[in-house]
Amino acid sequence: MEKIETKKRKHSETENVAGNKCLSSIFKDFKLIKVLREDARHKLITLHGTMPIPERGVGDGSKTFENHDDHNDAVVILERNAFNTSSLVDNIRLTETLETLHNDIYSTHNVFNFKDIVNADIKATVICPATDKHIIKYSEHEPFIIHETQHLYNTVTLPCIQNSNLSLQWVYNILEKKKEADRIIVDDPDPDVGFVMVPDMKWDRKHMDALYAVAIVHKHGIKSIRDLRGEHLPLLENILKLGQTAIKEKFNVTSDKLRVYFHYQPSYYHLHVHFTHVKFDAPGSDVLRAHLIQEVMDNIAMDSEYYKNRTLSFVVRENDLLCQKYKDSGYFS
């Protein structure tokens, strides 16, 4: 009963903040245990703390969680929102500024009291109650660069892939149209050179500048670019050509805007190709992970066993199984 009253009071206090929507304050009893990760470039921070389990705040009338106690582990991800262009200018006029540098026509200023009364400042994602696995997942993990020779691939990486035995059923479900069939961008059923292209989960399918699609080959057994040989050239040519054409037709994005590449290491070991818009600073487009399909095609055309023999560099992180295997092998000592 007391809780409802508090909520009502909150509501009336904050009516002018976000229209008539019901605001509450899920962080009012949040206690910090540890900052798990900071990302200054993307204005994002991940916290581990304790808090009561959030009640369902959207007025959908469904069950609410019982609030057992106030000390549940929680992972909280806070990310500042991008500027909202339509309200920006009104709000910036009302700020207070403090000059920090002035040189000729250039000056820098700290801006205080920027109040966007319509749009939220921050987006929060809360996992509560969180398990140890969540806390590990959202922590900063020390990265190490591995230079994987052919020998290291055969003795460390390959056994690790084979033993980890991760299920590819979700990939087969897409290829067999048991899942995501309504999302397919293009499907070439040819068993040798065919593939299914679907939008990546990271893409909202609305903003073309953030286009992200993935082409998954029908052929089983090609784990990564390490397995590519000269004989796979027709497969890669088909994916590139048909993929570019389909994206042009469906989304009106031309091939001179498309970054087309493999990941090494990939996140799953069934060959797939990433198509991302060049304006989108896609995660995994770093030179330590991405390999342009055009360069891969040129390399296997020149030397069929280029990727069998070549040293490939990539990043592993402390908590990865592969990192552990490299540690066990004595790679870092």
Q: In the annotation, is 272 catalytic?
A: yes
**Which helix (H) or strand (E) covers residue 215, if one does?**
strand 212-217
274 annotated to a ligand binding site = yes
Alpha carbon distance 333, 326 (integer Å): 10
Q: Toward a copy of itself, which CB reaches closer, 1 or 287?
A: 287
In angstroms, give the least distance from the CB of 63 to a copy of itself. Answer: 11
| Interaction of residue 159 with a copy of itself, rule CB under 8 A | no
Helix (H) or strand (E) holding 85: helix 85-93
Where in 194-233 is the site for a copy of itself (CB under 8 A)? none
How far is residue 168's CA from residue 188's CA, in Å, rounded to a whole number? 20
The whole-angstrom separation of Cα 60 and Cα 332 is 54
Interacting positions 133-152 with a copy of itself (CB under 8 A) = 143-147
Q: Are 309 and 151 in contact (CB under 8 A)?
A: no
With respect to a copy of itself, which residue has the nearer C-beta, 205 or 289?
Answer: 289
Identify whether the C-beta of residue 239 lies closer than 8 Å to the C-beta of residue 188.
Answer: no
Q: Which two tokens stand for residue 231?
A: 């004989």
CB nearer to a copy of itself: give 106 or 163.
106
Q: What angle do CA 225, 266, 44 make, to 5 degrees?
A: 145
Q: What angle do CA 207, 208, 209 make, to 5 degrees?
A: 90
Asked whether residue 172 is marked as a ligand-binding residue, the answer is no
Distance CA 6, CA 209 (A): 44
Q: Which position among 48, 218, 232, 272 bears the catalytic label?
A: 272
In the bound state with a copy of itself, the residue whose beta carbon lies nearer, of 129 and 329, is 129
Total residues found in the chain within this entry: 333
Q: Does 168 participate in binding a copy of itself (rule CB under 8 A)?
A: no
Pairwise CA distance, residues 35 & 75, whole Å: 10
Nearest distance from residue 46's CB to a copy of itself, in Å?
A: 10
Within 8 A by CB and 6+ apart from 92, the residues are: 111, 114
Is 270 annotated as belonging to a binding site? Answer: yes
CB of 134 to a copy of itself, least distance (A): 8
| Least distance CB 325 / a copy of itself (angstroms) | 15
User: Binding residue per annotation — 265?
Assistant: yes
What residues from 253 to 312 belong to the interface with a copy of itself (CB under 8 A)? 255-259, 261, 278-279, 281, 285-292, 294-295, 298, 302-303, 310-311
Amino acid at position 126, single letter: V
| Residue 273, annotated as binding a ligand | yes
Question: At its nearest, how many Å lie between a copy of itself and the CB of residue 12?
Answer: 12
Positions 91 through 120 that interact with a copy of itself (CB under 8 A): 92-102, 105-114, 120
CA dist., res. 290 & res. 259, Å (int): 10
Instruction: Tell me, residue by residue from 42 to 81, as one string, x for binding to a copy of itself by CB under 8 A and - for no binding.
Output: xx-x-x-x----x-xxx-------------------x-xx
Q: Active-site positions? A: 272
* Known binding positions for substrate: 170, 180, 200, 202, 263-274
